[in-house]
Amino acid sequence: DQQVKQNSPSLSVQEGRISILNCDYTNSMFDYFLWYKKYPAEGPTFLISISSIKDKNEDGRFTVFLNKSAKHLSLHIVPSQPGDSAVYFCAATSNTGKLIFGQGTTLQVKP
C-alpha cells in the first residue's frame, strides 16, 4: 500500500517556465511533508518542507502548497533552471520520525 504517491514519473519543462510536481498521500496521520532532490550518484538532499498547519511555504524559487482536504501537495519551481534537473521525491511523516517517500519524479529542464 503506497501511502505517498507521485503519479508522474517524469516532467519536462523549458528553462524559465514553471515546474509543478505533484504528490498525493493517503495517511491522514501525516503532519509534516518534505521535498527532497536527488542528482545521479548522490544521496537525496532536503529541499523544502511544510507543516500540516500551513497551506503554503516559500523559499526562493521553490514553493510548496498543501491541500489537506484533498491530501495533495505540490512543489512549484519558478523560474526553472537547467540545474534543477534531478529526481524529486515527496516525503511525509507523522510523529514516528520515519519518512515515507513517494516514487519520485524526474524533472528535465531544457535550456
Partner 1 sequence: NAGVTQTPKFRVLKTGQSMTLLCAQDMNHEYMYWYRQDPGMGLRLIHYSVGEGTTAKGEVPDGYNVSRLKKQNFLLGLESAAPSQTSVYFCASSGTGGDGYTFGSGTRLTVV
Site residues for partner 1 per CB under 8 A: 4, 6, 9, 32, 34, 36, 41-46, 49, 89, 91, 93, 96-104
Contact yes or no for 95/28 (Cβ under 8 A): no
Residue 11 or 15: the one with the smaller Cβ distance to partner 1 is 11
Residue 62 or 101: the one with the smaller Cβ distance to partner 1 is 101
Taking CA atoms, 30 is separated from 19, 62, 109, in Å, by 25, 22, 31
Residue 68 or 79: the one with the smaller Cβ distance to partner 1 is 68
State how beta strands 19-25 and 32-38 pair: unpaired
